[in-house]
Structure 1
């Protein structure tokens, strides 16, 4: 059998079918060389019928099956000797390769011996065997040292019968395909057979080609972390009721109305020969109407009066809206707009962002690279890759955002960037980006213990123990870390931001900080008036000097 074993078993990738039923026949001496072949390394039910060499020699040639073995015939085949005279060597032994016997190392065991002189074998169907234990087999785990995995390992260190060994991949990456068809990171270890299991990987069509996924937790999402919306400067409160566009249109309307009023009055006065109002007076008249402080004098002609009437209606609406909005902005302090999407992020001027370096070696990088969204492309082009602590620290200082897995970011925020009451100045975007369907354990393809782990994990997931465990472990870890000493600089900055946020919910009293804008407008008006005065003085001096020279020439 060792020389004639079909090579198609390797070519057909028999190791991918651990539950296949395999029956082999050959000499007893070849049982080890056959069952230990790599093609059967994952096969749970591989049986071998082994004949002794001497038993074959005792039989007549050509080989004849004794008549006793033929159904319905109880007499020897033309001989009075029968099977009893064949000898004790005519027997068949049934062997099986036990994958995880002998403390998980595996061995070849004899299931039964079949004496051919008996009518039928006296053992049960060997294909009914079900693997229910690994019997101490050491499973090799390749995973990255992130928080939840570390806790899981730590809780098992005290167990004397630890059934796995765990180590990170050499390149400390989750895993991506390479140009030569291989893989990097933890998936590379599974692909090359260095590891059996990897924790917390998301599924994808490419990954499912090189590993089998066992779903353990719900799929997490991508979120953007930034500083919470901050209070807008109080000196801008007088211009905040209208947007920049509205202020531009309003200024243009005042100027246009003043020019139109001047043209109407001037055209009519040219016809009658009377004196008309000046352009500057018309513009200031239009401005005074908007401020609800129009002069007592009115345009002399009906055309100007009609224009003034409609402008009074427009001024009434605009001034009423402005006053109402101003009261609201003085009563409730406004904040900056939160960042809830990639579009909000890239539209901010002089804003920087990054991606958690831990997730940039997996599905997140593929999502950012292959996205057709213009905002996502711009984000990926200018993104940094800080670690999670450094990225959140920069976000805490403002004008910086960090993209990452929601569960990881929330855990880091609870650990390092929240006070004892759980308050934090950091903000998680309301838009959640779903880029994966689920998370779970990745197993090497064809692993014979796939059903055992699937059964155990399914029970844990269905009864909700996995989510409960994650919440309890996270809460315990947060409580432990908060008892330790933290970075004082981060804590002081965070405390100031939290205090500033709490001020928003207090009663707002009108003070000088709300009227800073009024003072600034007054100062600007004084400065402009002074500049105009200087200009008038220079113009007057220029023309006065020119007039004196002209008079001197005449005299």
Structure 2
């Protein structure tokens, strides 16, 4: 009887070890994200850059008095956006660009129907004045009221909410257009996304598969115990 229980314990331990080892080797470890300039310049082997516009962002880096920002400016590589994103996908490279522009680009070109994207957008943001504004005649009586309403919208978060909604709608339309030129499976996923439905794939069924494997393992152990352990 004791030998049978030790046999079951050994089989269970071996199965658990093999499962953990397979899971560890199958799922690659993700590196820590880069959120700040300090983290960016502190990573060995990393590179970063801007698009060749030489606009407000270039002048902001060039004229900054911050030692960290100036160090970032010294390492900037100016390349086309497509080449920057290819290097970002390869790893150890960062593209310094406008927030809503890159959000729209990633959502439309690098995000699947389930919302997954391999690209990461840092949480740190820098305000760069571009010189845009609304023009009013001098002394306009409604200017103060407009400024108050704009401030309320910003503080309430409505501007970011509307922009995020606009980006998602534009990205969905872009994915639909790309899928229309693809195969039958892509078209089905596009139609499902348009209707608000989600086409399940293997990635969505992993939990059920794990439960099936674990349940089958316990059932096998129970059957093995019935065959090995002596019956009274």
Structure 1 residue corresponding to 2:97, chosen from 404, 411, 427: 404
CA distances 1:86-119 after superposition (whole Å, capped 9, x unpaired): xxxxxxxxxxxxxxxxxxxxxxxxxxxxxxxxxx
Whether 1:448 aligns to 2:138 is yes
2: CA distance, partners of 1:354 / 1:344: 15
2: CA distance, partners of 1:471 / 1:345: 26
Structure 2 residue corresponding to 1:370, chosen from 50, 64, 83: 64
2: CA distance, partners of 1:338 / 1:371: 26
Preserved CA contact (<8 Å) 1:354 1:403: yes
2: CA distance, partners of 1:378 / 1:418: 32
Structure 1 residue corresponding to 2:31, chosen from 328, 336, 340: 336
TM-score normalised per structure 1: 0.25
1: CA distance, partners of 2:56 / 2:70: 17
Please state which structure has a larger fraction of its residues in strand.
1
1: CA distance, partners of 2:137 / 2:36: 41
Residues 161-180 of structure 1 correspond to what in structure 2 (within 5 A)? Answer: none
1: CA distance, partners of 2:119 / 2:90: 10
Residue 485 of structure 1 aligns to a residue whose secondary structure is helix
2: CA distance, partners of 1:466 / 1:451: 24
Counterpart of 1:379? 72
> What's the CA shift for 1:421?
1.7
RMSD, aligned α-carbons: 4.2
TM-score normalised per structure 2: 0.52
1: CA distance, partners of 2:160 / 2:40: 32
Residues 152-551 of structure 1 correspond to what in structure 2 (within 5 A)? Answer: 330=21, 332=24, 334-358=29-53, 360-363=54-57, 365-374=59-68, 376-430=69-123, 432-436=124-128, 441-443=132-134, 447-448=137-138, 450-452=140-142, 455-456=145-146, 458-459=148-149, 462=152, 466-485=159-178
> What's the CA shift for 1:479?
1.8
2: CA distance, partners of 1:462 / 1:398: 40
Counterpart of 1:54? none
Residue 345 of structure 1 aligns to a residue whose secondary structure is helix
Preserved CA contact (<8 Å) 1:354 1:383: yes
Q: Over alpha carbons, which structure has the higher Rg?
A: 1
Unaligned runs of 5+ in 1: 1-326, 489-498, 510-555
Structure 1 residues 443 and 461, CA gap change in structure 2 (3 angstroms): closer
CA distances 1:313-348 after superposition (whole Å, capped 9, x unpaired): xxxxxxxxxxxxxx9x95656333332333433344
Preserved CA contact (<8 Å) 2:103 2:167: no
Preserved CA contact (<8 Å) 2:108 2:171: yes
Residue 89 of structure 2 aligns to a residue whose secondary structure is helix
Structure 1 residues 346 and 453, CA gap change in structure 2 (3 angstroms): same
